[in-house]
A and B are shown apart, each in its own frame.
Chain A
């Protein structure tokens, strides 16, 4: 029913190829030799029970954590580029954006300044000491804010935003440099169910328009089943299944990993308990 769990994309040339990725913390093997691909324009969900190694995988791709073994190759126009060993800021410069489980924004700045910061960094204008930052990249920043529905809040301090709006702002910041891959760590964590769907629909629309691939981890299965093109499943640091939403949903090993038993007699997978 499912293909062997190798997680390789079906598309022609994958945007990101992860091979043999492994990392241990002390004696605990958090990720043990994981292979998967992300195709161009694909929304790939990385799921698994707590402690499966999702965040570790994420942090290795992002450059925050150095893998013990393995390679992470990003396809670039000039040829594939190895990401292992690069700092997060270098990975970002190669076109990989990131959002965090607990939204990370610049709390002392206005909404638009948050986006301008990313645009200034992308334009390599951080070492400008004289002309005010306020006037720079304003229209581009406003476009991005309009795209995530925050145009009216542009001049508000970030501290006055609701959490759902902060998440939307983070998305605008992550899209500012025109990334080709977006890493979203539990994009809907801490949000009300209604907001979740809205944020994911927005994400889906924005990345489709821009041809951005997305790798996201998620505990909420309704979000995964509604928005992912493809799903890969981690358990105890190993890739145990991959495939379309329907395939993964029916996979016995996935049910075992989540519920300790594969026999659910066709009952729908209870999403909240999985979280």
Chain B
């Protein structure tokens, strides 16, 4: 590699840093003031790209060939997304500032689903190719190596926006209020500042920044419906590495990530002692590796501080309902009815096929609930354990030719080992930082599976995973997959019962103690980190079992099993069902899986429908579906 091409790599890195910073800056600002982790931030980015495209088309007709058209369109997109942000804040977020963190996440995620389908409805599913910016087309020559002019412009724009934001925050009255609210919003409110107006404007500015980032990305990447997830994941990473609420931190983080990526590309494939390692492959996970390292060394990010003061009543602590003879009878009845289903439903074979999916995800959701509800640890990378279970068993069984029944041991073991490693790091953090570290681990697992062609089959995945012979035999009088269905029911049913018992046992009580008051727990001799670590391991084991059952029901697996989208599905299942009761994750998983299954086939806008349903749940029934059922029961009794 010549020094010229190295320089170009660095310049490319700097351009990437600008984009990353702009994507994350708004998220950081919004979090700092409102303490809401805005999952819809990536969607605002995507809307910015689409609005930029529409405004660009429109202005190009008015001002043909002029660069002003592009910049004006970018400005319009920024303002449009800012207005959308203000609207979202007023309509939805304002109602849930006092709700538990999890409900806020669920609500913003629902908004993300609605926005995605909104874009589908308005702009269609086709990729929309962005304009070339007049005056910034083609490439500069850097020591003889070409470098896109537009990237050169981006290198300037990022720091310029940082500078403007810095001036806004330090030189204006409004900026002082924002900084004060970041430190202690209740104090600011007590001093007579109208909180709602401040929050709305901060949300609008943050959303506007996301829109700006989206519109600016247009000349490099077409507007498409897949922009939101990568953008939100980039934004989270930048904000968490930089420290929540710190804009200079976000810039530093963006710079660090981009330069590490550029470095990986520059290194190329390195031969070392007979092994060759392709560093460019690391670019897919570079940001997550950087994040994991930073969080382990500096738990609050590069320039973050422990969260500011939060007074007033804390969110109501979650208390799982104790078991009663009646609830035990209900559980027994439900399991018995499910066990008879292959005979009852022998005429409609699809029923038991769909229910195998439901069972696998029910166990997946239950294992996530285990650390999220009683443990208070919000894992955003739970699909890692599901995927480790599936891939671990599949790889071992393919290599050895053992029967599938061994998979039922190997899968959970793989999930356990993953949780043992990742959990050790994760329990040292809490809140959003813990969530982001688990996300990072999830992405690392995903990228290893995605890239390690020789072992995992890469993007094609692994096929030909057959259950043991007697499990795939068709028996007369029952649905075709009856044997596998019953095996899944038995495994999932007993795993759920075990998790339930563990929660009622002293260990489960200790897990709740660590969540309720770590201070008190430590001062009655409880090693909180160790208890949480073990809870992680229990959850990882259960998720691994769910993964292996799922893999062999499908016959093939692909890396999307481990993708962040799957982890988010898990969160939605748990939140939809409600975190206050053990039945919650099961009901949530069933509702989500069946909805996705049936609505996804027949209705183009099923995401929006799911999102709208979730918003109704959050705004009207903050205890989830299980809580809703309970309050109806309560009312019926009264």
Contacts and interface: CB of A to CB of B under 8 A. Distances in A.
B522 A89 contact: yes
A268 interface: no
Interface string A129-144: 1111110100000000
Contacts of A132: 501, 504-505
A195 interface: no
Contact of B506 (A87, A108, A128): A128
Contacts of B522: 87-89
A157 B580 CA distance: 14
Nearest to B510: A126
A116 interface: yes
B507 A106 contact: no
B118 interface: no
A103 to B, nearest CB: 9
B509 interface: yes
Nearest to A89: B525
Interface in A51-82: 62
B318 interface: yes
B509 A98 contact: no
B310 to A, nearest CB: 14
Contacts of A122: 524-525
B523 A117 contact: no
A69 B299 CA distance: 28
Contacts of B504: 132-134
A107 interface: yes
Interface string B506-522: 11111011011101111
B527 interface: yes
A177 interface: yes
B509 A120 contact: yes
Contacts of A118: 524-525
A107 B313 CA distance: 12
Contacts of A206: none
Interface in B504-558: 504-510, 512-513, 515-517, 519-527, 531, 534
B373 to A, nearest CB: 10
Contacts of A133: 504-506, 508-509
Given A128-B506, A129-B502, A134-B322, A107 B517 contact: yes
A212 to B, nearest CB: 16
A163 B519 CA distance: 18
B14 to A, nearest CB: 37
Interface in B149-167: none
Contacts of A87: 522
Contacts of A107: 314, 317, 516-517
B506 A125 contact: yes
Contacts of A136: 506
B319 interface: yes
A136 B319 CA distance: 19
Contacts of B314: 107
Contacts of A29: none
Nearest to A173: B524
Interface residues of B, number: 31
A105 B520 contact: yes
A104 B516 CA distance: 9
A109 interface: yes
Nearest to B373: A108
A130 B507 CA distance: 9
A116 B517 CA distance: 15
Contacts of B520: 100, 104-106, 173
Secondary structure at chain B's binding surface: helix, strand, loop or mixed?
helix
A176 B507 CA distance: 18
B221 to A, nearest CB: 46
A269 B317 CA distance: 43
Contacts of A216: none
Contacts of A252: none
A93 interface: yes
Nearest to A92: B525
A136 B510 CA distance: 14
B525 A104 contact: no
A261 interface: no
A62 B512 contact: no
B507 A88 contact: no
B509 A116 contact: yes
A126 B316 CA distance: 25
Given A89-B523, A109-B319, A118-B524, A126 B517 contact: no
A106 B512 contact: yes
A186 interface: no
Given A92-B523, A108-B317, A121-B524, A127 B517 contact: no
Q: By CB atoms of chain B within 10 A, which of A88, A122, A157 has the most?
A: A88
A109 B516 contact: yes
B509 A92 contact: no
Contacts of A116: 509
Interface residues of A, number: 38
A126 B506 contact: yes
Given A105-B517, A107-B517, A132-B504, A88 B523 contact: yes
Given A106-B512, A107-B517, A127 B319 contact: no
B438 to A, nearest CB: 22
A113 interface: yes
A242 B64 CA distance: 88
Nearest to A176: B524
A126 B526 contact: yes
Nearest to A119: B524
A104 B512 contact: no
B427 to A, nearest CB: 15
Nearest to A123: B506
Contacts of B505: 128-133
A120 B322 contact: no
A109 B322 CA distance: 11
B501 A104 contact: no
B536 to A, nearest CB: 15
A201 interface: no
Nearest to B515: A108
Nearest to B518: A104
Contact of B507 (A98, A113, A128, A177): A128
Contacts of A105: 516-517, 520
A108 B531 contact: no
B236 to A, nearest CB: 28
Contacts of A92: 523-525
A121 B319 CA distance: 20
A35 B316 CA distance: 43
Contacts of B319: 108-109, 157
Nearest to B519: A104
B404 to A, nearest CB: 28
B507 A126 contact: yes
Q: By CB atoms of chain A within 10 A, which of B502, B509, B527, B531 has the most?
A: B509
A117 B502 contact: no
Q: By CB atoms of chain B within 10 A, which of A62, A104, A108 has the most?
A: A108
A255 B510 CA distance: 47
Interface in B101-142: none
A228 B318 CA distance: 40
A93 B505 CA distance: 22
A132 B505 CA distance: 4
A158 to B, nearest CB: 9
A108 B516 contact: yes
Contacts of B527: 89
B542 to A, nearest CB: 13
A159 interface: yes
11 contacts: A89-B522, A89-B524, A89-B526, A104-B523, A105-B520, A108-B318, A109-B319, A126-B506, A129-B507, A133-B505, A134-B322
Interface of A: 62, 87-89, 92-93, 97-98, 100, 104-109, 113, 116-118, 120-122, 125-134, 136, 157, 159, 173, 176-177
The 10 closest A-B pairs by CB, nearest first: A108-B317, A104-B520, A106-B516, A108-B319, A107-B317, A121-B525, A118-B524, A133-B506, A128-B506, A133-B509
Given A92-B525, A107-B517, A130-B502, 4 more contacts: A88-B523, A107-B317, A132-B505, A159-B316
